[in-house]
Amino acid sequence: MSGLVRPARRPPGWSPGGPAPAGDRGEADLQPYDDEDLCFLVGDWRIFQKQRGHRWSLDDLVTAWVAARQGEAAGARRALDLGCGLGSVLLMVAWKLPGVDVTGIEAQADRAAMGRRSIRYDGVEARCRILDGDLRDPAVLPADARFELITGTPPYFPRGTGTESALPHAVPCRFEARGGVEDYLLAAARWLSESGRVVLCSAALEVDRLGPASNAAGLHHVEHVEIVPREGKAPLVMVDVFARTAVARRDSALTVRDATGQWTPDFRRVRESMGMPPTPP
């Protein structure tokens, strides 16, 4: 193994708190392979990623942040991450909600395998797992499976609307090779508990698809958070919350950087709440 193990980049004296990882425990496959790195995720937890290709991002962080708030409010005990990929959202939710049992579904076997290694490295295999399968297939979970919290970060672009990566694993992360928001909401509705919440991240350009998609799934749109990359810019992505029962919808925006390019106070609070340094090192 000669992959990269990323060092911590933290302000002096800052500590993330939260549960500690188990580490590699002398197991060879819990070291990064040649084309991988082992990065910090939240707290002291880490995640395996390819050095080139799709990697976890801001979208995953804000999805997990909104989901954790929803899960805490609902007293969630079981969570499901649809199309979990490397397991970034799954692990962030598990870190923030240490009493929650988390399941992921992933169709790309190599992504699922990397995610399982991260789960083992972080020492949460007793309450986290990734199932191989297509989220559109009802048989991937028992018919009576129910979850109080369901997350998803669907690919942002329909096939044929952009240039696809030469890296096979990266294509389904950005383009709708196995469905878009409609398929994710239909799957979520299949396994959502009566009082549960679905938290979905999608491209702002696809906002007009959310209403018809949630209606088709029999879900109500109860929260909408626009993620603004920089003050004065248009939102690029959005995080939306759906439920079986209608309530007054709450709309808000989270601006990541101010006009000077610095993290806003709101975004710093998000980072700190999710075990990440609130200021640059």
Per-residue pLDDT, 87: 97
- pTM score: 0.92
- Please write the tens of the pLDDT for every residue from 37-72: 999 999 999 999 999 888 999 999 999 999 999 999
Per-residue pLDDT, 164: 44
User: Widest CA span of the chain, in angstroms?
Assistant: 53
- Using pLDDT thresholds of 50, 70 and 90, give the confidence band for residue 159: very low
Using DSSP bridges, classify how beta strands 4-5 and 36-40 pair: parallel, antiparallel or unpaired.
parallel
Distance CA(45)–CA(113), nearest Å, equals 17
More confident residue, 182 or 281: 182
Please determine, for residue 1, whether its predicted confidence score (pLDDT) is greater than 70.
no
Per-residue pLDDT, 150: 98
Regarding the domain delimited by 56-273, which CATH topology (the fold level of the hierarchy) does it fall under?
A: Rossmann fold (3.40.50)
CB atoms under 10 Å from CB of 257, counted, come to 15
Per-residue pLDDT, 171: 45
Give Cα 207 distance to the centre of its chain. Answer: 19
Please determine, for residue 76, whether its predicted confidence score (pLDDT) is greater than 50.
yes
Average pLDDT, whole number, for the chain?
92
DSSP assignment of 107-143 equals: S-HHHHHHHHHHHHHHT-TTTEEEEES-TT-GGGS-T
